[in-house]
Amino acid sequence: MPDHQDAGGHSPHLSTDEQGQAAQHSTPPALVIHEVVREEGEAALQRPVGALAWSALAAGLSMGFSFLVQAVLAAGMPDTSWRHLVAGLGYCTGFVIVILGRQQLFTESTLTVVLPVLMHRDARTLLAALRLWTVVLAVNVAGTIAFAALLLVPGVFQAEVVHSLGTLAMQAMPDAFWPTVLRAVFAGWLIALMVWLLPSARAARLLTILFISYIVGISHLSHIIAGSVEAAYAVFTHQASASDFLVRFFAPTLLGNIIGGVSLVAMINHAAVASEMDDRDGENGDGKGLAGKRT
């Protein structure tokens, strides 16, 4: 069956210019998307620690606006069963800032830097990925804690917004460990899928970010960075303890986000194109496969 994604790109009924226009409007094949995302991961692995840290700090601070805008929207609405559907639009704010601003977010890296690891399969790439994860996660969380502390400054927000902030903060503190892990798996899965979709989204990049992050928000799925702002605010306002932050929120959410991003997206999407890459290398007569060529 011909690939509908290339439809028109090689049509004999079109001129050369028209074929080019058709190709530009077609959806990139999975292999092209894979390589775009992998190249982003390769570039991230080459960044110095200082650059990673500053970008991660910006991302952590920016994600705080998901919490704040969501609380502002909720405070201005009546207490109805559908209020969270409107307030959930505020949850998208941080993701839009971070992704369009090219800031370093931990959950994005569960896809981008894992693809180079799967391609190279060597200790150096694995250690570089672990270095990036450690730096980005630590500084992302530091940024969220700093943002949560700023929200405590008295007199900045109206009483209704402060009350809404406290209510939302406690939603990030579930009691059951494994249900939280599963919610975090779904969140990590969706955010990694969003990164996978962006290369083919073109002019719809903003809509893609809004749509996926909105689903995460209204479904109350657990995201390690967005949720860290809420959980830290709960600790600062004495609604929860530091151990609650670590045990009830951080540990299950981190575990689930990693599982969702790495296993369900990075590994499966890589496996979907790995045989195609090997077949193309075989046609070139090198007999190694793309992973071997890049090692």
Query: What is the domain-level CATH number for residue 239?
Result: 1.20.1080.10
CA distance 192 to 194: 5
Does 255 reside within a domain? yes
287 within domain boundaries = no
Domain annotation covers residue 289: no
* Contact present, 216 and 187 (Cβ < 8 Å): yes
What's residue 4's pLDDT?
A: 45
Report how many domains make up the chain.
1
Residue 186 lies inside a defined structural domain of this protein: yes
CA dist., res. 215 & res. 27, Å (int):
24
Find the domain containing 74 and state its range. 29-269
Q: What are phi and psi of 265, to 5 degrees?
A: -115, -60
Q: Residue 72's pLDDT is what?
A: 97
Q: Note the pLDDT of residue 269.
A: 75
The whole-number pLDDT of residue 202 equals 83
List C-alpha distances in Å: 116 to 126, 197, 271. Answer: 9, 18, 13
Q: Hey, what's the torsion of the CAs at 16, 18, 20, 23, to 10 degrees?
A: -130
Of the candidates 200, 230, 238, the one whose C-alpha atom is nearest the C-alpha of residue 31 is 200
What CA–CA distances, in Å, run from 75 to 109, 168, 248?
33, 11, 26
Judge whether 191 lies within some domain.
yes
Helix and strand element counts for the chain (H, E):
15, 0
Paired tokens of 281: 């290398």
Q: Is residue 10 part of a domain?
A: no
SS3 254: helix
Q: Decide if 87 is inside a domain.
A: yes
Q: Is residue 281 assigned to a domain?
A: no
SS3 137: helix
Residue 31: what pLDDT?
83
Ramachandran region, residue 222 (left: φ > 0; alpha: ψ -120 to 50; beta: rest):
beta
Determine the straight-line distance between the first and last CA of the chain, rounded to whole angstroms.
34
pLDDT digits (tens), the chain, 295 positions: 344 445 445 555 555 654 555 555 567 788 888 889 999 999 999 999 999 999 999 999 999 999 999 999 999 999 899 999 999 999 999 999 999 999 999 999 988 999 999 889 999 999 999 999 999 999 999 999 999 999 999 999 999 999 999 999 998 898 899 999 999 999 999 999 999 999 988 889 999 999 999 999 999 999 999 999 999 999 999 999 999 999 999 999 999 999 999 887 777 877 777 777 766 666 665 544 444 444 4
